[in-house]
Each structure stands twice: as structure tokens, then as C-alpha cells.
Structure 1
Amino acid sequence: MPPTALLLLANLGRPRRPAGARAARAEPALPDAEVASAQLADVLDGPITTADLDDLRRLHRAAFDAAEALAAGAAPDCGPINALAAASTARPELTVDQGVPRRRLVWVDPSPAAALARRLVDELDALEPARLRHCARPECDLLFYDTTRSRTRRWHAEDPCGWRARQQAHRM
């Protein structure tokens, strides 16, 4: 399973050149609550308030730094992510599944940043660092997680980077 939240936060604010665009454009990372809600909609439920932005920006920076360190083969600084995740608490709850009692943890997150930091802890624990890479196309700086069995994926996406790199090689 790819580290969705880590990649989203690490790539947030980086220049992108969508298919058909003449130049790369960078969208500011978490500029206000409305835009932040849209930017983080894939990894957070519910809207973000202005009061949440400072912690989310700190988490964005920590995720960016952690992803860059892992992509470079270094150990990430876990302190900032742990500090934001520390506000989350869990309580055990007993449920019955097909007649068998099961324990599950119910998480309580006081803020969107705490929920996202907790998710990052889980994702960073489960990922294989060697699969986290930068796109091989020099004009692109996006990170991706290689999920191929052979670990040979080179571009963050086939469209536009894969076909642009092959097109450029063909022209030479």
C-alpha cells in the first residue's frame, strides 16, 4: 500500500506540469483554510479551520523533510511528526465479529494535524524506504512510491513524465 498521506504532503507545493501545460506551476501549500481543505481532502475527513493551519504547515514541513531524507537513504527526524501525533489517544473497545469477541482501538484526534500525523506514523512504519524515489525526469521533482515487483519504476506518472522522457530520448 503506497504512503498516500506522506506523498501528498511531500509533493504539496512542488511545481507540476500537467499534460497539455506549457510551463510548470506551483500551487502554494496550505495558504488558507479553504484551499487547505481541498488540498488535503484525500487524506482528511471534514473541513480545516484557520486555527488548524499552523500545525498542518509544521506537519507538511516535517513530512517533506522525512520523505526527502528517506529518498536520499538517510534516517528522517521523527521528532516533529511524533510531537504532532502525541495529542491523539486511543481507547480499546470490544466488538463481536461473527460471534467472536474482538478488541479494536478507537482513535480520538483533537485536531486534523494530530489525525494526519498519526496516519503518517503508520505509513512511515509500513513503507520500504528504498521504494520512495524522485521522478527520473530532471524537470520534475515529485516523489513517488514504486509499487512494481521489479522496483524499476522511473517516473512519478506515465503521463506526462514517462512519455515526455521517452519522446525526448527519441528526438536525440
Structure 2
Amino acid sequence: MSPPKLIGNTPTLTLTIANSAIARKPAGSRERRLDDPFRDIEAFIRFASVWLAAEKVTVSQGDLARMVCWRDALFEILTAFINGTASSAALAVVNQEAERALSIRRISAELTIETAVCDSFVELLVGMCLDELEACDPTRLKRCLRRECGLFFYDKTRNRSARWHAEDPCGWRSRGERRNQDRPV
């Protein structure tokens, strides 16, 4: 029997990567924008530097293409999981990268797990996402119910009743839209 999953183990990197495929409407903006950290090599280097705390990150065009493919498959898997369906093609893509990520770990003489230096940061990011998903409670992964949003989030409420990824703006906007629909014309 595995130990119970704790509420606080939010898969932050995993959700950040999956949500990077969704166009968002920033506060004060009238139009939606896609702020994709994998749109070009410079954006990917900035993204990888933040998450990996690496001083010098080198990324090839192939790494970028692999990361975009992995992100799209992760997005599809999370969507399928939340909807209660299966996605075997996306699972194959994610697991192919997962096999590479698993091969970079080893145990030391002090019985600690070490991550070997590898040629690509894709394996490190994939490995970190796998660790997050293993440590979280997957039944708490949800999608924002506001039609215009749809971001993935991790429900930390005790009774698992969160409906929106954030109260501001989605909770406020959803309630306002509902009030306006109920109002007689």
C-alpha cells in the first residue's frame, strides 16, 4: 500500500508547462495572448533557467521541438484524465521522454538519489514533472470551469470543491456573468 498523497504537493512546474499551451487574457487587456515559453530558443532558455537554476543553459532546436511535443501530449493527458477518458497516443509521447528522464538518475554510496548531468534540459524538466505528478494527488487536478479560461489547477481545498483556478478573475467574472444572465431584460 502506498502512502497517502498530501494536499500540499502542488505540481507547479507540470501545471505551468501544461498551461503554457493556453492563450490567456491578462488583467487590463482586451485580447487573449499566448505567452508560450517554447515559442523560440531564447524563451525556452529563460524558462529553463528559472526552473533549473542553471547559469548557462544551452538548447538546440531539437530540444525545443521535443519540449513542445511533450507539452502538447501532457496537455492532452491532463485533459483526458480530468474528462475521464484515455489518450494512448499522448501517453506514448510522454512515456518516451519519461524513459530518457528516468535514465539520468542514479543512487550514490550515501543512498541518495543523484541526477546526472545530461546533454538536454528536456530530460531534467520531464523528470521534475514526473516527480511532481508522483507526489501529488491526481484527483485534485482540475480545469477552471470558466469557459473562457480553462487553465489547469491543483485543488487545495479540504472538500475538493474549487471550481476556478483563482477567485480573481475567474470566480468574480463567472458569478458576474451568471447574475447578468438571470437579470430580466
For this structure pair, what is the TM-score category when the shorter chain's length is used for normalisation? Answer: 0.7 to 0.9
Partner of 1:90: 106
Query: Which of 33, 49, 60 is equivalent to 1:50?
Result: 60
Asked whether the equivalents of residues 153 and 165 of structure 2 are also in contact (C-alpha less than 8 Å), the reply is yes
Question: Once the two structures are aligned, what percentage of the paired residues are identical?
Answer: 33
1: distance between equivalents of 2:136 and 2:86? Answer: 13
Q: Which residue of the other structure, out of 128, 134, 138, is the alignment partner of 1:119?
A: 128
8 Å Cα contact 1:3-1:127 kept in structure 2: yes
Offset of 1:131 from its aligned partner? Answer: 1.2
CA distance in 1, matches of 2:14, 2:178: 31
* 1:50-77 Cα deviation digits (max 9, x unpaired): 3431332232123222222222224562
Greater share of residues in helix: 2
Retained in 1: the 8 A contact 2:41–2:59? Answer: yes
Give the counterpart of 1:32 among 27, 33, 40: 40
Higher strand share: 1
Partner of residue 69, structure 1: 80
Q: Give TM-score scaled by structure 1 length.
A: 0.82
* Structure 2 runs not aligned, ≥5 long: 1-8
TM-score w.r.t. the length of structure 2 is 0.77
The change in CA–CA distance for 1:40 and 1:148 in structure 2 (over 3 A counts) is farther
Residues 1:75 and 1:3: Cα distance change in structure 2 (over 3 Å) = farther
Whole-Å separation in 2 of the counterparts to 1:48 and 1:59: 19
How many residue pairs get matched? 164
Quick one: which amino acid aligns to residue 155 of structure 1?
W
Q: Which amino acid in structure 2 is aligned with residue 117 of structure 1?
A: V
RMSD: 2.1
